[in-house]
């Protein structure tokens, strides 16, 4: 890289940032990127040579300031962010940062409601159309949304859950109109965003936070006319790595019904925390055998790993539904003592 810091492209600045952060942090960032993005960054990283520490620090400072500014914008808008940054960085630096940010920043709709009490939002939404409720809940924090969804009448819970799961892109005009109504009723200010809303992932995030009774009631009603949708939701509600959050007795019960082949494939790419959690709940001999299999099995197809993990997750859900293990979620679940 022979350009000055101000002439660097966004990709080049990210490359400088990753080099500065080091391999341990960078590898986690790479896991979140697409193949195209990885290829672009790898090429730019290869070109990062003989950078002065001051140059690296300049890029890292810029990223820090942008992150800081975005947090402030989310809290109170651009004017609030500018005011805070001026006090922290000085007027000139604050204007530069806000200028870079405002050209591409879109604050999520209903962000002003994210700090509101769920009961207050419920009082506003409960008489609205199910589609309106679904739109708002898809943008709120999952914890907020789950509390609101749990307090709706059972028939409305199901309809709202269905609409969140099936929601795709929503027109900016509709989002803006609904946002203005909610904003006015909450006597708050906010900004708008024109991104896609809802989808299966959105309802999964919400259902993962509600109490078990609400979850079962919603899924049971949905399954009547949308069995494929329910199956897709169930697949995503508990992922293999979540097994480490289960209690010792539950883990032991699960691995008792899992064969060594599935367990070996499932653990092939699992984190050390998950592996150790599994090994600690089986006999030392079985743990030793599986560890040896993983060590000597060589590269495997990702689809085979995913198939094994899916098999185990299906077993976990089955045992949970039969009451043989407890998969705790949501603040409304019963406390087991």
Residue 63 is assigned to a structural domain of this protein: yes
Q: Tell whether 141 and 184 lie within a shared domain.
A: yes
Q: Tell whether 98 and 117 lie within a shared domain.
A: no
How many separate domains does the chain show? Answer: 3
Q: Tell whether 11 and 97 lie within a shared domain.
A: yes
Q: Tell whether 195 and 263 lie within a shared domain.
A: no
Residue 32's pLDDT band, with cuts at 50, 70 and 90, is: confident
Q: Which residues contact 142 (CB under 8 A, 6 or more apart)?
A: 205, 206, 208, 209
Q: Tell whether 280 and 296 lie within a shared domain.
A: yes
Residue 335 is assigned to a structural domain of this protein: no
Q: Tell whether 232 and 310 lie within a shared domain.
A: no
Q: Give the domain-ending residue among 53, 70, 102.
A: 102
Considering the entire predicted model, what is its pTM?
0.40
Q: Tell whether 124 and 192 lie within a shared domain.
A: yes
Q: Looking at residue 258, which CATH number applies to its domain? A: 1.10.220.30
Q: Which residues contact 33 (CB under 8 A, 6 or more apart)?
A: 41
CA R_g for the chain = 24
Residue 281 is assigned to a structural domain of this protein: yes
Q: What is the mean pLDDT of residues 307-326?
A: 86
Q: Give the domain-ending residue among 190, 211, 236.
A: 236
pLDDT for the residue 195: 42
Q: Give per-residue pLDDT as tens, 113-122.
A: 777 778 888 8
pLDDT for the residue 169: 75
- pLDDT above 70 covers a percentage of the chain that reads 76
Does the pLDDT value for residue 134 go beyond 50? yes
Residue 122 is assigned to a structural domain of this protein: yes
Residue 251's pLDDT band, with cuts at 50, 70 and 90, is: very high
Range of the domain at 220: 111-236
The residue count for the chain: 337
Q: Tell whether 153 and 202 lie within a shared domain.
A: yes
Does the pLDDT value for residue 57 go beyond 90? no
Residue 334 is assigned to a structural domain of this protein: no
Q: Give the domain-ending residue among 82, 102, 122.
A: 102
Of 215 and 164, the one with more pLDDT? 164
Q: Tell whether 182 and 297 lie within a shared domain.
A: no
Q: What is the mean pLDDT of the chain?
A: 77
Residue 337 is assigned to a structural domain of this protein: no
Q: Let me know if 158 is exposed, middle or buried by CB neighbors in 10 A (0-12, 13-18, 19+).
A: buried
Residue 332 is assigned to a structural domain of this protein: no
pLDDT for the residue 30: 77
Q: Tell whether 131 and 228 lie within a shared domain.
A: yes
Q: Tell whether 155 and 255 lie within a shared domain.
A: no
Q: Tell whether 90 and 129 lie within a shared domain.
A: no
Does the pLDDT value for residue 243 go beyond 80? yes
Of 161 and 170, the one with more pLDDT? 161
């Amino acid at each position: 890289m022979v350009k000055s810091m101000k002439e660097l492209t966004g990709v080049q600045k990210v490359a400088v940032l990753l080099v500065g952060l080091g391999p341990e942090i960078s590898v986690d960032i790479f896991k979140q990127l697409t193949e195209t993005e990885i290829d672009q960054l790898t090429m730019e990283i290869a070109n990062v040579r003989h950078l002065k520490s001051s140059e690296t620090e300049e890029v890292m400072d810029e990223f820090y300031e942008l992150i800081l500014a975005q947090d402030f914008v989310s809290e109170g808008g651009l004017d609030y962010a500018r005011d805070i940054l001026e006090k922290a960085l000085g007027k000139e630096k604050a204007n530069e940062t806000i200028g870079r940010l405002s050209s591409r920043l879109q604050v999520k709709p209903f962000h002003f409601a994210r700090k509101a009490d769920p009961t207050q939002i419920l009082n506003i939404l409960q008489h609205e159309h199910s589609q309106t409720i679904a739109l708002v809940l898809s943008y709120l924090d999952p914890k907020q949304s789950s509390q609101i969804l749990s307090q709706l009448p059972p028939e409305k819970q199901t309809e709202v859950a269905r609409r969140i799961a099936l929601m795709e892109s929503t027109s900016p005009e509709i989002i803006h109109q609904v946002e203005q109504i909610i904003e006015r009723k909450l006597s708050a200010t906010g900004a708008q965003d024109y991104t896609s809303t809802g989808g299966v992932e959105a309802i999964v995030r919400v259902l993962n936070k509600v109490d078990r009774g609400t979850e079962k009631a919603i899924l049971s009603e949905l399954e009547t006319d949308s069995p494929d949708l329910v199956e897709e939701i169930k697949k995503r509600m508990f992922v293999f790595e979540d097994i480490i959050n289960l209690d010792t007795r539950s883990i032991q019960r699960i691995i008792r019904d899992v064969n060594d082949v599935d367990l070996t494939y499932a653990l092939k790419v699992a984190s050390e925390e998950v592996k150790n959690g599994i090994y600690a709940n089986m006999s030392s001999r079985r743990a030793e055998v599986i560890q040896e299999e993983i060590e000597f099995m060589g590269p495997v197809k990702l689809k085979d790993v995913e198939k094994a993990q899916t098999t185990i997750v299906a077993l976990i859900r089955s045992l949970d539904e039969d009451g043989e293990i407890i998969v705790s979620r949501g603040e409304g679940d019963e406390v087991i003592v």
